[in-house]
A and B are shown apart, each in its own frame.
Chain A
């Protein structure tokens, strides 16, 4: 019976793929939630993701430790976030445009320093087999869940609690909703936004490390095809709610797994179109959830993207 799931192989492969593919979406979108809740948008997370993938892989190759790679990727993300945050604190500088430039700079630096790491292999991040209850190898493969996915889930819950009932969370929300109110309370919006962007960058860096150290699990220049950007769109869809980000990331992961899943059961025609599924889904979701007349519910008041 093993190996003969027939058409049932497609949903199983999609669920497994969703779990595998969603992790970078999850980390980038959680990082972007943190940044956007403080009133800034960082479109440059795509560049941070690519640089994190390179930095994580390179470190893992050199040190032999995948976790050291994750750490370095996070630190690189902090640096990128700080640069974005500090530049956007200057008057009259547009955060969306800076994000585009950071996308370019991040990928450029990653490709530049990443050349020597295209060939060597790095150790993988560990995964936990949660599918032992099933005899089916496909189910077992699908439920082989990476540790970072579980960490991401925990982070989403912690962030939701943080925004709801901690001082840090409330401070971020005040700064994000009204610069004037934050100033009146004696807060320094520019500093808080810069720190939030740096923390968001760290998350995106970890998302990149997952790409190169687990799935697809190698470093090359085509490692990310817009996941970082889609994650930014996903945040709008998730209404700046970390737990909703988790579900949205799974949905996007599933869309991303559609092409490979169809290929794995032998569909070879037109699979390029299925590779476009995540982009089409993102665009569809943006169209469905945006509006010209009412402000988006849950949107931080100072966010340039919703004005």
Chain B
């Protein structure tokens, strides 16, 4: 096959423009497909990041109060609600909190190691909850202890209650104390009052999943405070396995039976984690699917372009093919000729394409804060396009190989 390269090159010189166009198309397609595949991978990695909680059995109810209460009055009602919810037959455990993982936005708190430190060491997503928080969410305690009931206090609207103890995620603990000795240490949440780490949990996803938060992914902490504010209390319920649907039906009814003066939105007031995930990662899903479609269509168009141009070349050269066949070239030789020709053009195209792909990625990095393209995606794209070229050229090449030697004698 290698022997054929010289005649192929001299033949290509006779239809430079067509060869250049196919090469250019392959280069551009490679540039876009590499980057699109990379974007898909980034989005999929983002949306498949673990949450650390028992998603399959969790239900979140957003509860607002229709009347104006003091913190004490609200707290009494919240405790009554929690008792009623925990008594439901399908409910494993329940907790009142200010937020839930993957909520989209929420409370994040700069954390420092000393009270007068100006640049924060960590940025933690803050969860409030009583001693049932860990059990309800299904978060695994890896060191230390859970909160004691006597450590839990109510917190109302806009009140500044600093709890003396906290439970943090392993990620936050390691960030604050890289030597691994976080348990029992004091940390500061932009105030002079310290809070002591009494427990460390394995994984607990943050509330916000925004890009700026990525530097502080999985940095979460829990304070033993019972949300008792007028707006935005979330009741988080963990159902016993297989009972989520039943709990969903009963929970809101139970809450209204305790007190009618509350607002639970019919639309989006009660969410399970399938819905929460969908809300949180909607743009990621959308982007990944869109990129997938773009890749598929681009590859199809490029393949069609190669088929079209090669078909023309074959019909243009029927006579030459006939002559070659008459002079002893086998069908395999003719097939090989067109395949090699395409391989040469494709190689030129992917070479240019790799440069374009990297340039495009650099532009995306500066404009859209994307990551640097890993070479794996470039190589995968190169392979994909070379295979695509060979696949596309196969049909016209087979047709060329079937040209009968008799053609050489015709229309002379």
Chain A bound to chain B: no
Q: Which residues of B contact A (CB under 8 A)?
A: none
Q: Which residues of A contact B (CB under 8 A)?
A: none
